[in-house]
Copies of this chain bind each other. A is one copy, B any other.
Amino acid sequence: MRALNFNGGPAALPLPVLKTVAAETLDWRGTGMSIMENSHRAKEVVAMAEETQADLLSLLGLGREWKVLFCQGGASLQFAMIPLNFAPEGETCDYIDTGLWSTKAYQEAQICGAKAHLAATSKADDYTYIPGEFNFSAKPRYIYLTSNNTVRGTQWASFPKNPPAPLIADMSSEFLSRPLDLSDFVLVHAGAQKNVGPAGLTIVLIRPEWAETGKKNLPHMLDYRTYIEHDSMFNTPPVFAIYVAGLTFKWLRDEIGGLEKMRELNKAKADFLYQAIDNSGGFFRGTARKDSRSPMNVTFRLPNEELEKDFLAEAKKVGMAGLNGHRSVGGMRASIYNAVDMAAVRTLVEFMAEFQRKRG
């Protein structure tokens, strides 16, 4: 039986995507080989990769001023590549600190020799909200933010207006969950393992014009230009993960109906779950400030840790996985990414009500 998967990432993938993967494992598109066994330079594979890039741009409504890169190493490698390329040798770059992953990005920029400036942080309030006021430096090269905070369950509802420098964002845990206006952005990165596909693929959206402003003579695999010039095939890319991403993009387009529709579905799920929390008379307590709540990661607490432990154990018994909060903060977290449907959220809400009835 399939579990109800509330994992924070790696996370649930669409069932039709998995069924296609299973069916094609021994023979992908009539090649007589698995996609894992095909050469990345075979024309069928190159065509698949190009189609995947085109489908993604089309989903996001982006034109050819953007390029889709298939990178590896997760957000953690992006934390280094961004300052190495764009703020080397002590140049100033601004960071907005909204929790674990933006803190790491900020620290990594310092390791890489950038002059990283903290333009805002909600640390004093336990990262329960997204800051609305910023103390930008005089001339930053870029402004970095994490658009959805998986750990704290917060999300930027809208991005800084008229920023004094281009925006760069880690969108890993909300990527493709809603339409995005990227006019003020030059680079967006997203680990595949939330809404896209298996871990081991990092999607980078970048404006090639901006990439050209980067430091020259970096190691090839750390230079965004390498990926742009070779269309992400300077060396062997993570072909299988790209293939699964491609299937997911087609699912989003053909079965969901695009990102606006996806946003509506995600909003309906999140509203339903947050309402259940808010209407529990304080038994369940949301940890994020209401104006900063993430529709992807719903974080909440129970009256005490013993009840939380029991809640997790009982949830597991009835086939609900991944409801524990991130190990750095504890508590509960229901990650309701694109592939988690309303039926799963309803089952969770019913389970919560039943648990409260018995133990509240």
Contact = CB atoms under 8 A, between A and B. Distances in A.
Interface of A: 1-3, 5, 7-13, 15, 18-19, 21-23, 25-27, 31-34, 36-41, 72-77, 79-80, 84, 108, 111-112, 191, 193, 197-201, 217-222, 234-241, 244, 319, 321-322, 327
B8 A39 contact: yes
B39 A199 contact: no
Contacts of A241: 200, 238, 240
Contacts of A31: 3, 321
B193 A236 contact: yes
B2 A32 contact: yes
Given A72-B72, A241-B240, A39 B7 contact: yes
Nearest to A240: B198
Contact of A199 (B7, B36, B111): B36
A219 B82 CA distance: 12
A72 to B, nearest CB: 4
A25 B33 contact: no
B7 A220 contact: no
Contacts of A200: 72, 200-201, 237-241
A62 to B, nearest CB: 25
* Max chain B C-beta neighbours (<10 A), residue from A1, A39, A74: A39
Contacts of A8: 39
Contacts of A80: 219-222
Contacts of A39: 7-10, 322
Nearest to A84: B219
B13 A239 contact: no
Top-7 shortest CB links A-B: A200-B238, A3-B32, A80-B219, A22-B25, A72-B72, A36-B198, A76-B235
A72 B31 CA distance: 27
* Max chain B C-beta neighbours (<10 A), residue from A39, A197, A219, A222: A219
Contacts of A218: 111
Contacts of A220: 76, 79-80, 108, 111
A24 to B, nearest CB: 9
Contact of A32 (B1, B221, B237): B1
